[in-house]
Amino acid sequence: MAGVKSPEISVIVAAFNAGNSIGRCIESILRQSFRDFELLILDDGSTDSTRDVIGLYKDDRIRTICQQNHGVAYTRQKGLERAQGRFSIFVDSDDWIDADMLEGMYGKLQESHADMVICDIVEEFGNYSVYKMQAPGSEDPQVIQWKMLNDLHAGMANKLIRHSLYRQFNIGFLSGVNCCEDQLLLVRLLSHPLKLAYVGKAYYHYDKSINTGSITNQWHSRPVKEWTLLLEALEPYMQEACHQKAFDLYAARRIYDSTYAGKDEKADYRYIYSRYKSRLDRSALPLKQKMVCHMQYAGLGWIVSLLRKIRS
């Protein structure tokens, strides 16, 4: 509508079967001391009470998009395309944020004239919490780029980003990659000369105790083809010498994750193992995990499964 001012910040929430947690998430966002934002909620075909819970909140800043189930990458990309703010940030539907998060991060962004502001996070395990410092240790995007692979939290939720960058560099979420899709997007963004800033406060609470049905937390159920797509998309950005060691370990971990694949994914596992075996061999992955990868490739996956059952 002509004459309507766009919000400064778009807060984007992608949700799937988050009926037991999305209310807490929404309430934490609506409590923000910074008021000039929109809350864009995208329901990705939930079959539980998610839509009913969303409907309980009446606030002019909320926009809701309901769609058939497409997966997290498609849904987050839709959020990027529909967001109207000058800056944007993602919040997962099973997490929550402190009331001063947007104010603190926006203030740092204005003070530093940065393109991206990063804050610390708290991992919540129900009866205890773990503070996770996310200090980049550098203002060089290339350095932070490889740190996003193994050292820093590579989610979108603790990063306030100048939204025009996505259009400027033609960067979005890769269709078909529904795990670590945010990591891939960040690595691609950081391949450009961005100005970065850091706030040493943990505004974001990452709930690791309840998100078993989360849109983002179905780690070992991911198809091996998704891990392969992810590695193949990341590899072109990992050509610098400083990236190679980090990417070796990252690729090795994805091969190990792929050992949880089902029987119908044997060919996919053989491909990802063969494609990245040299990186697996020279990586710092623990020897026991390397042996699991080799056994899986040798057709001894039943032994791996048996050992996992005994251990559990």
Instruction: Find the CATH number of the domain harbouring 22.
Output: 3.90.550.10
Q: 243-288: per-residue pLDDT in tens? A: 888 999 999 999 999 999 888 999 999 999 999 999 999 999 999 9
Q: 93-121: per-residue pLDDT in tens? A: 999 999 999 999 999 999 999 999 999 99
Same-domain pairing of 195 and 237: no
Average pLDDT, the chain: 92
Same-domain pairing of 147 and 208: yes
Kindly state the tokens that stand for 312.
Answer: 């559990």
In the chain, the number of structural domains is 2
Residue 130 lies in a domain: yes
Same-domain pairing of 39 and 174: yes
Same-domain pairing of 234 and 280: yes
Residue 109 lies in a domain: yes
Same-domain pairing of 178 and 271: no
Same-domain pairing of 86 and 158: yes
Residue 2 lies in a domain: no
Residue 228 lies in a domain: yes
∠ Cα 199 184 123 (to 5°): 45
**Residue that finishes a domain, picked among 213, 231, 246:** 213
**In this predicted structure, what is the pLDDT of residue 307?**
82
Same-domain pairing of 101 and 226: no
- Which residues have a Cβ under 8 Å from the Cβ of 171 and sit 6 or more positions away? 165, 185, 188, 189
Full domain range(s) for residue 230? 221-311
Residue 278 lies in a domain: yes
Beta strands in 224-264 (DSSP E): none
pTM: 0.90
Q: 11-46: per-residue pLDDT in tens? A: 999 999 999 999 999 999 999 999 999 999 999 999
Confidence of residue 139 (pLDDT cuts 50, 70, 90): confident
Nearest alpha carbon to residue 190 among 234, 229, 246, 132: 234
Same-domain pairing of 193 and 226: no
